[in-house]
Structure 1
Amino acid sequence: MSSTFLALLAIALWATLASFGTVLSHLPPFLLTGLALIAGSVPSWFWAARERAAWRVPPRTLALGIYGLFGFHFLLFIALRHAPPVEANLVNYLWPLLMVVLAPVLLPGVSLRAVHVGAALLGFAGAAIAILWGAWGFLPALGSAFVWASYSLWTRRVPPFPTAAVGLFGLVSGGLSLTCHALLEPAVALSARDALLIALCGLGPLGAAFFAWDLALKRGDARRIGILGYLTPRGSTALLLPVTGRPLSGSIALAAGLILAAAVIGTRAR
Protein backbone atom coordinates (compact mmCIF):
# COMPACT_ATOMS: atom_id res chain seq x y z
CA MET A 1 0.00 0.00 0.00
CA SER A 2 1.23 3.51 -0.80
CA SER A 3 2.12 6.06 1.85
CA THR A 4 -0.72 8.29 0.61
CA PHE A 5 -3.33 5.54 1.03
CA LEU A 6 -2.03 4.67 4.51
CA ALA A 7 -2.04 8.33 5.56
CA LEU A 8 -5.59 8.79 4.27
CA LEU A 9 -6.71 5.67 6.15
CA ALA A 10 -5.30 7.08 9.39
CA ILE A 11 -6.89 10.46 8.67
CA ALA A 12 -10.31 8.87 8.06
CA LEU A 13 -10.11 7.07 11.40
CA TRP A 14 -8.90 10.19 13.23
CA ALA A 15 -11.87 12.10 11.87
CA THR A 16 -13.97 10.19 14.43
CA LEU A 17 -11.70 10.94 17.42
CA ALA A 18 -13.15 14.29 18.51
CA SER A 19 -16.69 12.88 18.32
CA PHE A 20 -15.72 9.97 20.56
CA GLY A 21 -13.99 12.36 22.95
CA THR A 22 -17.04 14.62 23.11
CA VAL A 23 -19.55 11.80 23.62
CA LEU A 24 -17.34 10.35 26.37
CA SER A 25 -16.49 13.71 27.95
CA HIS A 26 -18.30 12.69 31.16
CA LEU A 27 -15.44 10.27 31.89
CA PRO A 28 -12.24 11.48 33.61
CA PRO A 29 -9.60 12.25 30.93
CA PHE A 30 -6.89 9.98 32.37
CA LEU A 31 -9.35 7.08 32.51
CA LEU A 32 -10.59 7.62 28.96
CA THR A 33 -7.06 8.04 27.58
CA GLY A 34 -5.78 4.95 29.39
CA LEU A 35 -8.57 2.55 28.47
CA ALA A 36 -8.69 3.67 24.82
CA LEU A 37 -4.92 3.41 24.35
CA ILE A 38 -4.81 -0.07 25.85
CA ALA A 39 -7.72 -1.16 23.65
CA GLY A 40 -5.89 0.22 20.62
CA SER A 41 -2.75 -1.74 21.47
CA VAL A 42 -4.53 -5.13 21.49
CA PRO A 43 -3.92 -6.04 17.80
CA SER A 44 -0.16 -5.71 18.30
CA TRP A 45 -0.22 -8.22 21.17
CA PHE A 46 -0.67 -11.04 18.66
CA TRP A 47 1.95 -9.47 16.41
CA ALA A 48 4.45 -9.41 19.27
CA ALA A 49 3.54 -12.97 20.29
CA ARG A 50 4.62 -14.20 16.84
CA GLU A 51 7.71 -11.99 16.62
CA ARG A 52 9.33 -11.33 19.99
CA ALA A 53 11.58 -8.67 18.50
CA ALA A 54 8.56 -6.59 17.51
CA TRP A 55 8.50 -4.83 20.89
CA ARG A 56 12.25 -4.59 21.42
CA VAL A 57 12.98 -0.89 21.14
CA PRO A 58 15.58 1.35 22.82
CA PRO A 59 14.44 3.35 25.87
CA ARG A 60 14.68 6.59 23.88
CA THR A 61 12.28 5.24 21.25
CA LEU A 62 9.83 4.05 23.91
CA ALA A 63 9.99 7.46 25.61
CA LEU A 64 9.21 9.15 22.29
CA GLY A 65 6.22 6.84 21.76
CA ILE A 66 4.85 7.62 25.22
CA TYR A 67 5.36 11.34 24.63
CA GLY A 68 3.42 11.15 21.36
CA LEU A 69 0.53 8.88 22.21
CA PHE A 70 -0.03 9.80 25.85
CA GLY A 71 0.70 13.51 25.52
CA PHE A 72 -1.38 14.10 22.41
CA HIS A 73 -4.55 12.38 23.55
CA PHE A 74 -4.52 13.58 27.13
CA LEU A 75 -4.16 17.22 26.03
CA LEU A 76 -6.84 16.78 23.36
CA PHE A 77 -9.38 15.30 25.77
CA ILE A 78 -8.65 18.16 28.22
CA ALA A 79 -9.23 20.70 25.45
CA LEU A 80 -12.54 19.14 24.43
CA ARG A 81 -13.78 19.65 27.98
CA HIS A 82 -12.75 23.28 28.43
CA ALA A 83 -13.30 24.91 25.04
CA PRO A 84 -16.04 24.71 22.41
CA PRO A 85 -15.41 21.25 20.91
CA VAL A 86 -15.64 22.25 17.25
CA GLU A 87 -13.17 25.12 17.60
CA ALA A 88 -10.85 23.18 19.94
CA ASN A 89 -10.82 20.35 17.42
CA LEU A 90 -9.73 22.70 14.65
CA VAL A 91 -6.98 24.23 16.80
CA ASN A 92 -5.73 20.72 17.53
CA TYR A 93 -5.58 20.07 13.80
CA LEU A 94 -2.94 22.73 13.35
CA TRP A 95 -0.54 19.78 13.72
CA PRO A 96 -0.30 19.27 9.93
CA LEU A 97 0.87 22.88 9.61
CA LEU A 98 3.39 22.39 12.40
CA MET A 99 4.54 19.14 10.83
CA VAL A 100 5.20 20.85 7.52
CA VAL A 101 7.04 23.88 8.90
CA LEU A 102 8.97 21.97 11.58
CA ALA A 103 10.27 19.34 9.15
CA PRO A 104 13.35 21.38 8.14
CA VAL A 105 14.08 22.07 11.82
CA LEU A 106 13.70 18.53 13.16
CA LEU A 107 14.76 16.43 10.16
CA PRO A 108 18.17 16.64 8.49
CA GLY A 109 18.26 17.12 4.74
CA VAL A 110 14.66 18.37 4.51
CA SER A 111 13.80 21.76 3.06
CA LEU A 112 10.60 23.61 2.28
CA ARG A 113 9.53 24.76 -1.16
CA ALA A 114 7.31 27.76 -1.70
CA VAL A 115 4.33 25.54 -2.52
CA HIS A 116 4.68 23.73 0.83
CA VAL A 117 4.76 27.04 2.69
CA GLY A 118 1.80 28.35 0.73
CA ALA A 119 -0.28 25.24 1.38
CA ALA A 120 0.64 25.29 5.06
CA LEU A 121 -0.36 28.95 5.46
CA LEU A 122 -3.63 28.34 3.62
CA GLY A 123 -4.45 25.47 5.96
CA PHE A 124 -3.52 27.60 8.96
CA ALA A 125 -5.86 30.36 7.77
CA GLY A 126 -8.69 27.85 7.49
CA ALA A 127 -8.17 26.65 11.04
CA ALA A 128 -7.70 30.19 12.41
CA ILE A 129 -11.05 31.35 11.03
CA ALA A 130 -12.84 28.86 13.27
CA ILE A 131 -10.99 29.81 16.46
CA LEU A 132 -12.81 31.77 19.17
CA TRP A 133 -10.00 33.07 21.34
CA GLY A 134 -10.58 33.49 25.06
CA ALA A 135 -11.10 29.94 26.34
CA TRP A 136 -8.05 28.52 28.11
CA GLY A 137 -8.96 25.11 26.66
CA PHE A 138 -7.39 26.21 23.38
CA LEU A 139 -3.94 26.04 25.00
CA PRO A 140 -3.99 22.24 25.53
CA ALA A 141 -5.45 21.91 22.01
CA LEU A 142 -2.45 23.80 20.64
CA GLY A 143 -0.15 21.75 22.87
CA SER A 144 -1.59 18.51 21.53
CA ALA A 145 -0.98 19.77 17.97
CA PHE A 146 2.68 20.42 18.74
CA VAL A 147 3.11 17.04 20.45
CA TRP A 148 1.74 15.08 17.49
CA ALA A 149 3.67 17.07 14.87
CA SER A 150 6.98 16.70 16.71
CA TYR A 151 6.36 13.02 17.51
CA SER A 152 5.59 12.28 13.86
CA LEU A 153 8.83 13.93 12.74
CA TRP A 154 11.05 12.57 15.50
CA THR A 155 10.12 8.99 14.62
CA ARG A 156 12.46 9.58 11.65
CA ARG A 157 15.32 10.51 14.00
CA VAL A 158 15.32 7.43 16.25
CA PRO A 159 16.64 4.01 15.20
CA PRO A 160 14.19 2.18 12.90
CA PHE A 161 11.56 0.24 14.83
CA PRO A 162 8.84 -2.22 13.76
CA THR A 163 5.37 -0.75 13.31
CA ALA A 164 4.16 -3.30 15.88
CA ALA A 165 6.12 -1.34 18.50
CA VAL A 166 3.47 1.39 18.22
CA GLY A 167 1.22 -1.02 20.12
CA LEU A 168 3.81 -1.11 22.90
CA PHE A 169 3.78 2.69 22.99
CA GLY A 170 0.01 2.59 23.41
CA LEU A 171 0.07 -0.13 26.05
CA VAL A 172 2.66 1.62 28.22
CA SER A 173 1.01 5.01 27.71
CA GLY A 174 -2.36 3.52 28.65
CA GLY A 175 -0.91 1.97 31.80
CA LEU A 176 0.66 5.30 32.77
CA SER A 177 -2.64 7.08 32.21
CA LEU A 178 -4.58 4.58 34.33
CA THR A 179 -2.03 4.99 37.11
CA CYS A 180 -2.61 8.74 36.99
CA HIS A 181 -6.36 8.10 37.07
CA ALA A 182 -6.04 5.94 40.19
CA LEU A 183 -3.95 8.60 41.94
CA LEU A 184 -5.60 11.82 40.77
CA GLU A 185 -9.16 11.20 39.62
CA PRO A 186 -12.35 9.93 41.27
CA ALA A 187 -13.41 6.37 40.49
CA VAL A 188 -16.36 6.04 38.12
CA ALA A 189 -18.50 3.16 36.94
CA LEU A 190 -18.61 2.49 33.21
CA SER A 191 -21.88 1.69 31.50
CA ALA A 192 -22.10 -0.92 28.75
CA ARG A 193 -22.40 1.95 26.25
CA ASP A 194 -19.26 3.59 27.63
CA ALA A 195 -17.32 0.34 27.33
CA LEU A 196 -18.44 -0.20 23.73
CA LEU A 197 -17.56 3.35 22.67
CA ILE A 198 -14.15 3.15 24.36
CA ALA A 199 -13.42 -0.13 22.57
CA LEU A 200 -14.40 1.36 19.20
CA CYS A 201 -12.38 4.50 19.89
CA GLY A 202 -9.37 2.40 20.87
CA LEU A 203 -9.46 0.01 17.94
CA GLY A 204 -10.06 2.78 15.39
CA PRO A 205 -8.58 6.26 15.92
CA LEU A 206 -6.36 5.16 18.82
CA GLY A 207 -5.34 1.85 17.30
CA ALA A 208 -5.42 1.06 13.60
CA ALA A 209 -4.84 4.73 12.76
CA PHE A 210 -1.48 4.70 14.59
CA PHE A 211 -0.22 1.67 12.71
CA ALA A 212 -1.29 3.12 9.34
CA TRP A 213 0.27 6.50 10.17
CA ASP A 214 3.56 4.94 11.21
CA LEU A 215 3.77 2.94 7.98
CA ALA A 216 2.96 6.07 5.97
CA LEU A 217 5.75 8.04 7.68
CA LYS A 218 8.22 5.23 7.02
CA ARG A 219 7.36 5.12 3.31
CA GLY A 220 6.60 8.72 2.37
CA ASP A 221 7.64 12.37 2.56
CA ALA A 222 6.83 13.91 5.95
CA ARG A 223 5.93 17.27 4.39
CA ARG A 224 3.50 15.72 1.91
CA ILE A 225 1.93 13.52 4.59
CA GLY A 226 1.65 16.50 6.93
CA ILE A 227 -0.27 18.46 4.30
CA LEU A 228 -2.59 15.48 3.78
CA GLY A 229 -3.44 15.88 7.46
CA TYR A 230 -5.37 19.03 6.58
CA LEU A 231 -8.16 16.74 5.42
CA THR A 232 -8.67 15.54 8.99
CA PRO A 233 -10.41 18.62 10.44
CA ARG A 234 -12.83 18.70 7.51
CA GLY A 235 -14.07 15.17 8.19
CA SER A 236 -13.76 15.54 11.95
CA THR A 237 -15.80 18.75 12.00
CA ALA A 238 -18.47 17.24 9.75
CA LEU A 239 -18.94 14.43 12.30
CA LEU A 240 -18.62 16.69 15.34
CA LEU A 241 -21.30 19.19 14.34
CA PRO A 242 -24.25 16.75 14.68
CA VAL A 243 -22.73 15.28 17.86
CA THR A 244 -22.61 18.73 19.52
CA GLY A 245 -25.82 19.98 17.93
CA ARG A 246 -23.99 22.94 16.36
CA PRO A 247 -25.24 24.32 13.03
CA LEU A 248 -22.84 24.67 10.10
CA SER A 249 -21.88 28.34 10.24
CA GLY A 250 -20.37 30.32 7.41
CA SER A 251 -17.02 30.61 9.19
CA ILE A 252 -16.73 26.85 9.69
CA ALA A 253 -17.70 26.21 6.05
CA LEU A 254 -15.06 28.70 4.88
CA ALA A 255 -12.47 27.11 7.17
CA ALA A 256 -13.23 23.68 5.75
CA GLY A 257 -12.90 24.97 2.20
CA LEU A 258 -9.51 26.56 2.85
CA ILE A 259 -8.28 23.41 4.56
CA LEU A 260 -9.34 21.25 1.61
CA ALA A 261 -7.63 23.65 -0.81
CA ALA A 262 -4.43 23.42 1.23
CA ALA A 263 -4.48 19.64 1.01
CA VAL A 264 -5.05 19.65 -2.76
CA ILE A 265 -2.23 22.14 -3.40
CA GLY A 266 0.17 20.39 -1.07
CA THR A 267 -0.35 16.91 -2.45
CA ARG A 268 0.30 18.13 -5.99
CA ALA A 269 3.77 19.34 -4.99
CA ARG A 270 6.71 17.05 -5.59
Structure 2
Amino acid sequence: MSRQKATAIGFIAVLLWALLALFTVGSAPTPPLLLNTLCFAIGGTLGLIWTLASGTAGELRKVPLKVYAFGTLGLFGYHALYFSALRLAPAAEAGLIAYLWPLLIVVFSGLLPGEQLRRGHVIGAVLGFAGAALIIAGGGKGFSAAHLPGYGLALLCALTWSGYSVLSRRVGSAPTASVAVFCLATAALSFPLHLLFEETILPDHALGWAAIAGLGLGPVGLAFYVWDIGVKRGDIQLLGTSSYAAPLLSTIVLVVAGAAAASATLFWAALLITGGALIAARASLSKPASPALADDQTPR
Protein backbone atom coordinates (compact mmCIF):
# COMPACT_ATOMS: atom_id res chain seq x y z
CA MET A 1 0.00 0.00 0.00
CA SER A 2 1.36 3.43 -0.94
CA ARG A 3 1.96 6.18 1.63
CA GLN A 4 -0.60 8.42 -0.11
CA LYS A 5 -3.33 5.75 -0.13
CA ALA A 6 -2.75 4.94 3.54
CA THR A 7 -3.06 8.64 4.40
CA ALA A 8 -6.35 8.89 2.46
CA ILE A 9 -7.73 5.81 4.25
CA GLY A 10 -6.74 7.32 7.60
CA PHE A 11 -8.67 10.50 6.78
CA ILE A 12 -11.93 8.50 6.66
CA ALA A 13 -11.61 8.35 10.45
CA VAL A 14 -11.61 12.14 10.60
CA LEU A 15 -14.94 12.29 8.77
CA LEU A 16 -16.42 9.72 11.14
CA TRP A 17 -15.11 11.54 14.22
CA ALA A 18 -16.96 14.66 13.11
CA LEU A 19 -20.07 12.81 14.36
CA LEU A 20 -18.55 11.77 17.70
CA ALA A 21 -19.78 14.75 19.74
CA LEU A 22 -23.31 14.68 18.31
CA PHE A 23 -23.75 10.96 18.95
CA THR A 24 -22.28 11.34 22.45
CA VAL A 25 -24.80 14.07 23.27
CA GLY A 26 -27.56 11.90 21.79
CA SER A 27 -26.60 8.95 24.00
CA ALA A 28 -27.33 10.85 27.24
CA PRO A 29 -27.94 10.04 30.04
CA THR A 30 -25.88 6.85 29.63
CA PRO A 31 -22.83 7.24 31.97
CA PRO A 32 -19.32 7.30 30.41
CA LEU A 33 -18.02 3.86 31.43
CA LEU A 34 -21.25 2.13 30.41
CA LEU A 35 -21.15 4.02 27.11
CA ASN A 36 -17.57 2.82 26.68
CA THR A 37 -18.74 -0.77 27.27
CA LEU A 38 -21.58 -0.66 24.76
CA CYS A 39 -19.77 1.23 21.99
CA PHE A 40 -16.58 -0.80 22.09
CA ALA A 41 -18.50 -4.07 22.24
CA ILE A 42 -20.11 -3.05 18.94
CA GLY A 43 -16.87 -1.77 17.42
CA GLY A 44 -14.90 -4.82 18.55
CA THR A 45 -17.50 -7.24 17.22
CA LEU A 46 -17.44 -5.40 13.89
CA GLY A 47 -13.67 -5.79 13.73
CA LEU A 48 -13.77 -9.43 14.81
CA ILE A 49 -16.21 -10.26 11.99
CA TRP A 50 -13.93 -8.49 9.49
CA THR A 51 -10.87 -10.32 10.87
CA LEU A 52 -12.50 -13.73 10.55
CA ALA A 53 -13.88 -12.96 7.08
CA SER A 54 -10.48 -11.75 5.82
CA GLY A 55 -8.64 -14.76 7.23
CA THR A 56 -6.25 -12.64 9.30
CA ALA A 57 -7.22 -14.03 12.72
CA GLY A 58 -4.04 -16.08 12.83
CA GLU A 59 -1.96 -12.89 12.93
CA LEU A 60 -3.38 -12.02 16.33
CA ARG A 61 -1.37 -14.77 18.04
CA LYS A 62 1.86 -13.09 16.97
CA VAL A 63 1.06 -9.77 18.64
CA PRO A 64 2.95 -9.20 21.93
CA LEU A 65 0.87 -8.79 25.07
CA LYS A 66 2.36 -5.33 25.68
CA VAL A 67 0.92 -4.15 22.37
CA TYR A 68 -2.56 -5.29 23.38
CA ALA A 69 -2.15 -3.51 26.71
CA PHE A 70 -0.99 -0.34 24.94
CA GLY A 71 -3.89 -0.30 22.50
CA THR A 72 -6.49 -1.07 25.15
CA LEU A 73 -5.32 1.66 27.50
CA GLY A 74 -5.20 4.17 24.62
CA LEU A 75 -8.77 3.53 23.50
CA PHE A 76 -10.15 3.13 27.02
CA GLY A 77 -8.41 6.21 28.38
CA TYR A 78 -9.35 8.59 25.56
CA HIS A 79 -13.01 7.68 25.39
CA ALA A 80 -13.61 7.46 29.13
CA LEU A 81 -12.18 10.99 29.34
CA TYR A 82 -14.06 12.23 26.26
CA PHE A 83 -17.47 10.90 27.27
CA SER A 84 -16.96 12.33 30.77
CA ALA A 85 -15.88 15.71 29.40
CA LEU A 86 -19.04 16.05 27.32
CA ARG A 87 -21.17 15.21 30.34
CA LEU A 88 -19.48 17.94 32.42
CA ALA A 89 -19.04 20.80 29.91
CA PRO A 90 -20.83 22.20 26.84
CA ALA A 91 -20.36 19.80 23.91
CA ALA A 92 -19.03 22.25 21.34
CA GLU A 93 -16.49 23.86 23.67
CA ALA A 94 -15.27 20.60 25.22
CA GLY A 95 -15.10 19.03 21.76
CA LEU A 96 -12.90 21.80 20.39
CA ILE A 97 -10.46 21.45 23.29
CA ALA A 98 -10.36 17.67 22.85
CA TYR A 99 -9.60 18.25 19.16
CA LEU A 100 -6.25 19.78 20.00
CA TRP A 101 -4.97 16.22 19.45
CA PRO A 102 -4.24 16.62 15.72
CA LEU A 103 -1.95 19.56 16.41
CA LEU A 104 -0.30 17.71 19.29
CA ILE A 105 0.29 14.78 16.93
CA VAL A 106 2.20 17.07 14.62
CA VAL A 107 4.27 18.47 17.49
CA PHE A 108 4.96 15.09 19.12
CA SER A 109 5.71 13.42 15.77
CA GLY A 110 8.75 15.65 15.46
CA LEU A 111 10.32 13.32 18.03
CA LEU A 112 9.92 10.29 15.75
CA PRO A 113 12.82 8.95 13.66
CA GLY A 114 12.71 10.38 10.13
CA GLU A 115 10.37 13.24 11.08
CA GLN A 116 11.24 16.91 11.61
CA LEU A 117 9.48 19.61 13.61
CA ARG A 118 9.42 22.88 11.62
CA ARG A 119 8.67 26.48 12.53
CA GLY A 120 5.21 26.23 10.98
CA HIS A 121 4.37 23.37 13.35
CA VAL A 122 5.29 25.50 16.36
CA ILE A 123 3.29 28.52 15.11
CA GLY A 124 0.32 26.27 14.45
CA ALA A 125 0.56 24.83 17.96
CA VAL A 126 0.54 28.30 19.52
CA LEU A 127 -2.55 29.32 17.53
CA GLY A 128 -4.31 26.07 18.42
CA PHE A 129 -3.73 26.52 22.12
CA ALA A 130 -4.87 30.15 21.82
CA GLY A 131 -8.16 28.85 20.48
CA ALA A 132 -8.50 26.46 23.41
CA ALA A 133 -7.68 29.26 25.86
CA LEU A 134 -10.38 31.42 24.30
CA ILE A 135 -12.96 28.71 24.95
CA ILE A 136 -11.88 28.17 28.57
CA ALA A 137 -11.86 31.95 29.23
CA GLY A 138 -15.41 32.18 27.93
CA GLY A 139 -14.61 34.60 25.12
CA GLY A 140 -13.90 37.42 27.54
CA LYS A 141 -17.25 36.93 29.34
CA GLY A 142 -15.71 35.48 32.44
CA PHE A 143 -14.30 32.16 33.55
CA SER A 144 -16.85 29.39 34.13
CA ALA A 145 -15.57 27.39 37.10
CA ALA A 146 -18.49 24.99 36.79
CA HIS A 147 -17.16 23.71 33.48
CA LEU A 148 -13.50 23.47 34.53
CA PRO A 149 -13.60 19.69 35.23
CA GLY A 150 -15.01 19.05 31.75
CA TYR A 151 -12.46 21.30 30.08
CA GLY A 152 -9.64 19.62 32.02
CA LEU A 153 -10.80 16.17 30.95
CA ALA A 154 -11.07 17.37 27.35
CA LEU A 155 -7.44 18.53 27.45
CA LEU A 156 -6.40 15.15 28.85
CA CYS A 157 -8.29 13.61 25.91
CA ALA A 158 -6.12 15.53 23.48
CA LEU A 159 -2.91 14.48 25.24
CA THR A 160 -4.02 10.85 25.45
CA TRP A 161 -5.02 10.41 21.81
CA SER A 162 -2.06 12.30 20.37
CA GLY A 163 0.32 10.23 22.49
CA TYR A 164 -1.42 7.02 21.47
CA SER A 165 -1.37 7.91 17.78
CA VAL A 166 2.30 8.89 17.70
CA LEU A 167 3.43 5.90 19.75
CA SER A 168 1.42 3.64 17.41
CA ARG A 169 4.16 4.29 14.86
CA ARG A 170 6.59 2.64 17.28
CA VAL A 171 4.46 -0.54 17.25
CA GLY A 172 3.88 -0.42 13.51
CA SER A 173 4.43 -4.16 13.10
CA ALA A 174 1.14 -4.92 14.89
CA PRO A 175 -1.58 -5.82 12.33
CA THR A 176 -4.66 -3.63 12.03
CA ALA A 177 -6.71 -6.70 13.02
CA SER A 178 -5.35 -6.25 16.54
CA VAL A 179 -7.58 -3.15 16.89
CA ALA A 180 -10.55 -5.53 17.26
CA VAL A 181 -8.89 -6.98 20.36
CA PHE A 182 -8.21 -3.45 21.67
CA CYS A 183 -11.92 -2.64 21.33
CA LEU A 184 -13.20 -5.83 22.96
CA ALA A 185 -10.67 -5.52 25.78
CA THR A 186 -11.73 -1.90 26.32
CA ALA A 187 -15.35 -3.02 26.64
CA ALA A 188 -14.32 -5.78 29.07
CA LEU A 189 -12.32 -3.31 31.17
CA SER A 190 -15.05 -0.67 31.19
CA PHE A 191 -17.90 -2.91 32.34
CA PRO A 192 -16.64 -3.89 35.83
CA LEU A 193 -15.53 -0.30 36.42
CA HIS A 194 -19.00 0.84 35.46
CA LEU A 195 -20.53 -1.55 37.99
CA LEU A 196 -18.18 -0.23 40.69
CA PHE A 197 -18.48 3.51 40.08
CA GLU A 198 -21.63 4.27 38.09
CA GLU A 199 -25.38 3.84 38.21
CA THR A 200 -26.74 1.87 35.27
CA ILE A 201 -28.81 4.26 33.19
CA LEU A 202 -29.81 3.33 29.66
CA PRO A 203 -31.56 5.45 27.00
CA ASP A 204 -35.35 5.46 27.29
CA HIS A 205 -35.97 6.34 23.64
CA ALA A 206 -35.02 5.00 20.22
CA LEU A 207 -32.83 7.97 19.30
CA GLY A 208 -30.60 7.29 22.30
CA TRP A 209 -30.06 3.69 21.26
CA ALA A 210 -29.51 4.80 17.66
CA ALA A 211 -26.80 7.19 18.87
CA ILE A 212 -25.04 4.39 20.75
CA ALA A 213 -25.24 2.11 17.71
CA GLY A 214 -23.93 4.93 15.53
CA LEU A 215 -20.99 5.45 17.88
CA GLY A 216 -20.10 1.75 17.88
CA LEU A 217 -20.31 1.36 14.12
CA GLY A 218 -18.62 4.61 13.09
CA PRO A 219 -16.63 6.97 15.39
CA VAL A 220 -15.91 4.19 17.92
CA GLY A 221 -15.75 1.37 15.39
CA LEU A 222 -14.67 1.64 11.76
CA ALA A 223 -12.77 4.84 12.50
CA PHE A 224 -10.13 3.02 14.55
CA TYR A 225 -9.33 0.50 11.85
CA VAL A 226 -8.81 3.08 9.10
CA TRP A 227 -6.94 5.38 11.51
CA ASP A 228 -4.57 2.55 12.43
CA ILE A 229 -3.69 2.11 8.75
CA GLY A 230 -3.16 5.84 8.33
CA VAL A 231 -0.87 6.50 11.30
CA LYS A 232 1.25 3.39 10.68
CA ARG A 233 1.65 3.55 6.91
CA GLY A 234 0.78 7.10 5.90
CA ASP A 235 2.14 10.62 6.41
CA ILE A 236 1.44 11.06 10.13
CA GLN A 237 2.10 14.82 10.16
CA LEU A 238 -0.13 15.50 7.16
CA LEU A 239 -2.78 13.20 8.61
CA GLY A 240 -2.58 14.93 11.97
CA THR A 241 -2.93 18.43 10.54
CA SER A 242 -5.66 17.54 8.06
CA SER A 243 -7.55 16.09 11.02
CA TYR A 244 -8.51 19.63 11.95
CA ALA A 245 -11.38 19.29 9.54
CA ALA A 246 -12.94 17.26 12.39
CA PRO A 247 -13.41 20.01 15.03
CA LEU A 248 -14.77 22.41 12.45
CA LEU A 249 -17.15 19.82 11.01
CA SER A 250 -18.06 18.59 14.49
CA THR A 251 -18.97 22.10 15.66
CA ILE A 252 -21.02 22.74 12.51
CA VAL A 253 -22.88 19.44 13.01
CA LEU A 254 -23.68 20.31 16.64
CA VAL A 255 -24.96 23.78 15.73
CA VAL A 256 -27.06 22.53 12.82
CA ALA A 257 -28.52 19.74 14.97
CA GLY A 258 -29.39 22.24 17.70
CA ALA A 259 -27.06 20.61 20.25
CA ALA A 260 -24.95 23.78 20.53
CA ALA A 261 -25.57 27.49 20.06
CA ALA A 262 -23.67 29.47 17.47
CA SER A 263 -21.52 32.19 19.05
CA ALA A 264 -18.63 34.51 18.28
CA THR A 265 -16.46 32.61 20.78
CA LEU A 266 -16.97 29.33 18.93
CA PHE A 267 -16.30 31.02 15.61
CA TRP A 268 -13.00 32.59 16.66
CA ALA A 269 -11.86 29.48 18.55
CA ALA A 270 -12.57 27.29 15.53
CA LEU A 271 -10.77 29.81 13.30
CA LEU A 272 -7.68 29.85 15.52
CA ILE A 273 -7.53 26.08 15.93
CA THR A 274 -8.20 25.32 12.27
CA GLY A 275 -5.93 28.11 11.06
CA GLY A 276 -3.11 26.83 13.23
CA ALA A 277 -3.57 23.40 11.74
CA LEU A 278 -3.45 24.75 8.19
CA ILE A 279 -0.16 26.51 8.91
CA ALA A 280 1.24 23.31 10.38
CA ALA A 281 -0.09 21.34 7.41
CA ARG A 282 1.76 23.63 5.03
CA ALA A 283 4.95 22.95 6.96
CA SER A 284 4.33 19.21 6.61
CA LEU A 285 3.68 19.46 2.88
CA SER A 286 6.92 21.35 2.35
CA LYS A 287 9.09 18.60 3.82
CA PRO A 288 10.61 15.88 1.65
CA ALA A 289 9.33 12.33 2.04
CA SER A 290 11.24 10.33 4.62
CA PRO A 291 13.34 7.58 3.02
CA ALA A 292 12.54 5.36 5.99
CA LEU A 293 8.89 5.52 5.08
CA ALA A 294 9.03 5.21 1.33
CA ASP A 295 6.13 3.41 -0.33
CA ASP A 296 7.89 0.08 -0.39
CA GLN A 297 9.14 0.38 3.19
CA THR A 298 6.01 1.30 5.10
CA PRO A 299 5.57 -0.33 8.52
CA ARG A 300 3.48 -3.49 8.35
Under a length normalisation based on structure 1, what TM-score does the superposition of the two structures give?
A: 0.91
CA contact (8 A) 2:134 2:269 kept: yes
Displacement of 1:146 in angstroms is 0.8
The residue that corresponds to 1:257 in the other structure is 271
Alignment pair present for 1:98 and 2:112:
no
The residue that corresponds to 2:132 in the other structure is 127
The residue that corresponds to 2:9 in the other structure is 6
Higher mean alpha-carbon deviation, 5-14 vs 121-130, is at 121-130
Q: Match for 1:64 among 67, 70, 86?
A: 70
Deviations 1:203-247 (A, max 9, x none): 100011111111111222322222122221101111122445433
- Percent identity reads 41
Deviations 1:126-157 (A, max 9, x none): 33322345322111111111110000011111
The residue that corresponds to 1:37 in the other structure is 40
Higher mean alpha-carbon deviation, 38-47 vs 211-220, is at 38-47
| Corresponding letter in the other structure for 1:27 | T
Within 1, Cα distance between the matches of 2:165 and 2:202? 35
Within 1, Cα distance between the matches of 2:259 and 2:246? 20
Alignment pair present for 1:75 and 2:72:
no
CA contact (8 A) 1:30 1:181 kept: yes
Q: Match for 2:248 among 231, 234, 249?
A: 234
Cα distance, 1:26–1:243 mapped onto 2, change above 3 Å: farther
Alignment pair present for 1:193 and 2:207:
yes
Alignment pair present for 1:25 and 2:39:
no
Cα distance, 1:144–1:69 mapped onto 2, change above 3 Å: same
Displacement of 1:117 in angstroms is 1.9
Structure 1: runs of 5+ lacking an equivalent: none
Within 1, Cα distance between the matches of 2:202 and 2:80? 20
CA contact (8 A) 1:163 1:215 kept: yes
Structure 2: runs of 5+ lacking an equivalent: 288-300
**RMSD, aligned α-carbons:** 2.0
Secondary structure, aligned partner of 1:2 = helix
Cα distance, 1:216–1:252 mapped onto 2, change above 3 Å: same
Alignment pair present for 1:207 and 2:221:
yes
Within 1, Cα distance between the matches of 2:252 and 2:172? 38
Deviations 1:31-58 (A, max 9, x none): 1111001111222212332222243321
Return the index of the structure with the highest Cα Rg: 2
Under a length normalisation based on structure 2, what TM-score does the superposition of the two structures give?
A: 0.83
CA contact (8 A) 1:16 1:236 kept: yes
Q: Match for 2:150 among 121, 133, 137?
A: 137
Displacement of 1:182 in angstroms is 2.2
Within 1, Cα distance between the matches of 2:190 and 2:264? 38
| Corresponding letter in the other structure for 2:133 | A
Within 2, Cα distance between the matches of 1:3 and 1:28? 35
Displacement of 1:166 in angstroms is 0.8
Within 1, Cα distance between the matches of 2:47 and 2:196? 28
The residue that corresponds to 1:184 in the other structure is 197
